[in-house]
Amino acid sequence: MARASLEELKLDYEDFLRQRHMAPLAPDHPALVRLKERRPETVEDFAAWVASEHRRGNTDDHGLTPTTTDTPDRAPTPAPPGPASVPVRARPCESVPAAAPEPRRPHGSACLAANGALSLLNLGCHLLDRQVERLALDFERQGGFTERLHRVRSVARDQADA
**Pair 27, 103: CB distance under 8 Å:** no
pTM of the model: 0.60
**Pair 158, 33: CB distance under 8 Å:** no
Q: What mean pLDDT is reported for the chain?
A: 76
- pLDDT over 90 for what percent of the chain? 48
Q: Which pLDDT does position 149 carry in this prediction? A: 86
Tens of pLDDT along 37-87? Answer: 999 999 999 999 999 998 887 544 444 434 434 444 444 444 445 444 444
